[in-house]
Amino acid sequence: DNNKHQWYYEGRNGWWKYEERSNADLEAAFTSGVSECLLLLAGTIYCVDFQNMVQIRRSDPTKLRRVKRDIPTFPSKGIAGIKRLD
């Protein structure tokens, strides 16, 4: 089931949800057992490393964020940089 889990990346003081397409790609890759997943986000390539649970910018590996896989109701800042309205 692809809607039981949500992937999150770390922001300054909380977690952002990945947008739907990236979330589906991450979930498919993770459940297939591969060690990483490449994402193209607004023209920038990122690698999500499932061993270390980090997202790394390919062109600058110092740009690293923690990622997590959790339930969809885990508190988040919003989706892919779009702030949650509350």
CA–CA distance, 74 with 59 (Å, rounded to integer): 30
- Please state the closest distance from residue 31 (CB atom) to ligand V3L, in A: 19
Name the residue with the smallest CB distance to ligand V3L: 11
CB atoms within 10 A of CB 27: 20
41 touches ligand V3L by CB under 6 A? yes
Position among 21, 38, 68, 81 found at the interface with ligand V3L (CB under 6 A): 81
| Residues ≥6 apart with Cβ < 8 Å to 71 | 4, 5, 6
Q: Which residues form the interface with ligand V3L (CB under 6 A)? A: 9, 11-12, 16, 18, 41, 57, 63, 65, 77, 80-81
